[in-house]
A and B are shown apart, each in its own frame.
Chain A
Amino acid sequence: MSKKDIDDATGIETTGHEWDGLKELNNPLPRWWLYILYATIIWAIGYMILYPSIPLINQGWPGVLGWSSRGDVAQELDGVAESRKAFDARIAALSFDEIRADPALFNYAQRSGASAFKLVCSQCHGSGAVGDQELGYPNLNDDAWLWGGTMDAIYHTISHGVRNGVDPAARNSVMPAYGTLGILTAAQIADTAHHVLSLSGLDHDGAAAARGTDIYMTQCAACHGPDGAGNPILGAPRLSDALWLYGASHAQVVAQISNPRLGVMPPWAERFDEATRKKLAIYVHQLGGGQ
């Protein structure tokens, strides 16, 4: 590289680099370009001082401003919580009818209730609130309600729970274990089960059902009603509909009469404030089956 390579067309020296006959001219850079480089360096130094940057031995340099992305998130969450305060205060103060009359508040209650539901209710009732047939968690989407499907009734159930032995105001009722306690014989239970199936028109043995009618009337009708309409005050399910929490086969009905499974739910008044429980009640109510 002893000879300077001068470009013919411009008379400017080239850098000597060549690509497919194209040569790079060695023009000076504009000076402001250099200044921008210096400016970016100064900027970088300032940035490193102000913001977390240099890894040190135990932890990184936190920066003079003390900024962190976690701090940002915390601040945003605080902001969200702050913005919800006014809504929640109104929900706690108003009745369900008053909340329903305010579309914006009602909408907020539904959305906020949905997230609370996902947090603590979905473990048993499922994220879609469909419950679990095997485990006996009721579906909250349908129109059958063991303890009543109005907002107030749902609110009470959520607040105090079911048969938990903790909250005196909990929903409470007991169905005798007709089989295990020897109240009825196996044959009587089988007959009664046929009668129960006949109430909703399911397949059953007519003769057995007829034999079971008397037993049903004496043993079951007090709570479930003579025609199987159920009683939400006692949490006695309706037996004349198409929904069966513990199964609709003869064997499943027999098992339920012999040694009943009784649902349990914790009281949420301890865990959640009034507004959250109201929002949960509103959310569950609007799933489709609310009365």
Chain B
Amino acid sequence: MSVSSKDKPVAQYEVEAVNRGKAPKLYKGREPIYPRRVSGRFRTLKWWIMGVTLAIYYITPWLRWDRGPYAPDQLVLVDLAGRRFFMGPIEIWPQEFFYVAGLLIMAGIGLFLVTSAVGRAWCGYACPQTVWTDLFIWVERLVIGDRNTRIKLDNQPWSLKKARLKGTVHGIWLIIAVATGGAWIFYFADAPTLLAQFIRGDAPMAAYVTVAILTFTTYTLGGLMREQVCTYMCPWPRIQAAMMDEHSLTVTYNDWRGEPRGRHRKREGADTLGDCIDCNACVAVCPAGIDIRDGQQLPCITCALCIDACDDVMDKIGKRRGLIGYATLKDYAQNTARAKTEGLDVARSAQVLPGWRQVFRPRVFLYFGLWGAIGLAMLFAVTTRDRLDLSVAHDRNPRFVQLSDGSIRNGYTVKILNMRAEPRTFDFGLVGLPGGEMWAPGINDEPARRFAVPVAPDTVREFRVFVRAEPDGLERVPKPFTFRTFEIGGREQSETAAVFEAPTP
């Protein structure tokens, strides 16, 4: 009975303190990013693209296009009230909206095409989020200064000077934001007229609301949210992850020549170090706040500014450019393998760089073919389409009316669509239905086989047509026949099948 306490089994518990105080954070605030100024090939390219895209956006509504006296003279106009979409020589009616759907499909496939050819170039260069963020950062730099000055200012306690600088930055941002929203509304109305109305204060409420919303979004997304939009909100990086393959161009840190990184080049053992001197220039310039040396990652928009920064450093220390550069996974693997087998120096001098072969591959051709085919089909359709259409609806009640002389009358509602911005006169006639004659109150009151219908420019003319025929002359009931219309003195024509109803004998 003498069991020592040593032998007693001691219970062990699988437990963890609930309130250990080291629970992972649920939320994380945005840490400000202060991209440093950089210059180089890609930065220059980005300035140009920014200039061109912003110019297109702001200037387009002010460009004119003469369409004659009966249509607006704005090059690009989405006339929601009038249900017309003008783009240069092309005018789209609501029933032709599939052309716009085609454009959207082309834009979608175009993104695939660009991604498979040159990677996330859309994100890095052309996306409005990138362009406006770039513009806003440029304003910051202009007013306050470069990275270090901005960090210093942010760390200072509030002062008159800080308030003045910050106020100027946010003021300019707001002006840009208002201009952004302001430019948008001009696509939907005659720009000079709307501008005058807007300033006088008698523009439609929708215009002011639109400007307010776009001002808010531009200011918030471009000034305050920035990379948060790309990292957390945008679906495109997720989709692109699925579109990348080993041939896709992406901004790559070539760790096979960079590692092991080290700053102290004069220390002993420095000759075993890689090319990366750990100067962090690539991190300092990154607008997404990442370190490209951690490898490919979702927040990277491939803006290539780290390439410019690193190339600059490589030039300074006399190493070959391309420690950070555009590369495909395949090239990267090839370079890595060579560095392992043949040594860093050989690999560096023989570094495989991307070229046209990334662009010329079956996948790109496939997308381009699809994209081009849709574009050509739409171009063909839009250039050969008729600007005349005819639609006829037979009266449902009554289907026919017997007249006092024993003949039968049918009623139709006819629509002639003159889709050109000029007044035109169309011949409207009966084809078939022997002995039949028709009249249209207000247009042609005397019974006839055909008559002329003038239609105002760019409008639908709807009118009633009564057709009369002797029931004995009909071979069968209902008797099919055709309404035909053609432009007098033109080549366009349109016809529609119809039936003549009569009591069954």
Report which of B27, B395, B404 forms a contact with A242, defined as CB distance below 8 A.
B404
CB-CB under 8 A from A26, the residues of chain B are 24
Q: Mark each residue of chain A from 31 to 56: 1 if its CB lies under 8 Å from any CB of chain B, else 0.
A: 11110000000000000000000000
Is B228 in contact with A243, judged by CB distance below 8 angstroms? Answer: no
**Chain A 274-291 interface residues, beta-carbon cutoff 8 Å to B:** 286, 288-289
How many Å lie between the Cα of A29 and that of B231 in the bound state?
A: 11
| B269 in contact (CB, < 8 A) | no
| B368 in contact (CB, < 8 A) | no
CB-CB under 8 A from B442, the residues of chain A are 103
How many Å lie between the Cα of A238 and that of B411 in the bound state?
A: 24
CB-CB under 8 A from B402, the residues of chain A are 142, 242-243
How many Å lie between the Cα of A241 and that of B402 in the bound state?
A: 11
Which residue from chain B places its CB closest to the CB of A110 in the assembled complex? B464
**Chain B 1-51 interface residues, beta-carbon cutoff 8 Å to A:** 14-16, 24-30
User: With A130-B398, A141-B398, A286-B464 known to touch, is A241 a contact of B405 (CB < 8 Å)?
Assistant: yes
| A205 in contact (CB, < 8 A) | no
Report which of B27, B396, B397, B405 forms a contact with A28, defined as CB distance below 8 A.
B27
Which residue from chain B places its CB closest to the CB of A3 in the assembled complex? B16
| B58 in contact (CB, < 8 A) | no
Q: Mark each residue of chain A from 7 to 35: 1 if its CB lies under 8 Å from any CB of chain B, else 0.
A: 00000010000000000001011111110
Is A30 in contact with B27, judged by CB distance below 8 angstroms? Answer: yes
Is A33 in contact with B401, judged by CB distance below 8 angstroms? Answer: no
Is A141 in contact with B16, judged by CB distance below 8 angstroms? Answer: no
CB-CB under 8 A from B405, the residues of chain A are 241-242
Q: How many A-B residue pairs have CB under 8 A?
A: 74
**Nearest CB on B from A27, distance (A):** 8
**Chain A 86-132 interface residues, beta-carbon cutoff 8 Å to B:** 103, 126-130
Which residue from chain B places its CB closest to the CB of A288 in the assembled complex? B466
How many Å lie between the Cα of A129 and that of B401 in the bound state?
A: 11
**Nearest CB on B from A52, distance (A):** 24
Is B401 in contact with A32, judged by CB distance below 8 angstroms? Answer: no
Is B401 in contact with A242, judged by CB distance below 8 angstroms? Answer: no
Report which of B26, B29, B401, B404 forms a contact with A288, defined as CB distance below 8 A.
B401
CB-CB under 8 A from A129, the residues of chain B are 398
How many Å lie between the Cα of A129 and that of B398 in the bound state?
A: 8
Is A28 in contact with B28, judged by CB distance below 8 angstroms? Answer: yes
User: With A28-B27, A286-B464 known to touch, is A142 a contact of B397 (CB < 8 Å)?
Assistant: no
| A253 in contact (CB, < 8 A) | no
Query: Secondary structure of the A side of the interface?
Result: loop
Chain A CB within 10 Å, residue with most, of B29, B397, B402, B405? B402
CB-CB under 8 A from B397, the residues of chain A are 126-128, 130
User: With A130-B398, A139-B401, A242-B403 known to touch, is A32 a contact of B228 (CB < 8 Å)?
Assistant: yes
How many Å lie between the Cα of A288 and that of B405 in the bound state?
A: 14
Is B464 in contact with A31, judged by CB distance below 8 angstroms? Answer: no
**Nearest CB on B from A256, distance (A):** 18
Is B30 in contact with A30, judged by CB distance below 8 angstroms? Answer: yes
Which residue from chain B places its CB closest to the CB of A28 in the assembled complex? B28
| A218 in contact (CB, < 8 A) | no
How many Å lie between the Cα of A127 and that of B232 in the bound state?
A: 60
**Nearest CB on A from B241, distance (A):** 13
| B225 in contact (CB, < 8 A) | yes
| A2 in contact (CB, < 8 A) | yes
Is B29 in contact with A31, judged by CB distance below 8 angstroms? Answer: yes
Is B409 in contact with A288, judged by CB distance below 8 angstroms? Answer: yes
| A143 in contact (CB, < 8 A) | yes
Is A31 in contact with B27, judged by CB distance below 8 angstroms? Answer: yes
Which residue from chain A places its CB closest to the CB of B220 in the assembled complex? A32
**Nearest CB on B from A101, distance (A):** 11
- In the complex, 24 of the A-B residue pairs with CB atoms within 8 angstroms, ordered by the A residue number, are A2-B15, A2-B16, A29-B27, A30-B27, A30-B30, A30-B232, A31-B30, A33-B27, A33-B232, A103-B442, A128-B395, A128-B396, A128-B397, A130-B397, A142-B409, A143-B403, A143-B404, A242-B402, A242-B404, A242-B405, A243-B402, A243-B403, A286-B464, A288-B401
A residues contacting B by CB (< 8 A) are 2, 13, 26, 28-34, 103, 126-130, 139, 141-144, 238, 241-243, 286, 288-289
Q: Please give me the 6 A-B residue pairs with the lowest Cβ-Cβ distance, nearest first.
A: A128-B397, A241-B404, A242-B406, A28-B28, A141-B401, A31-B29
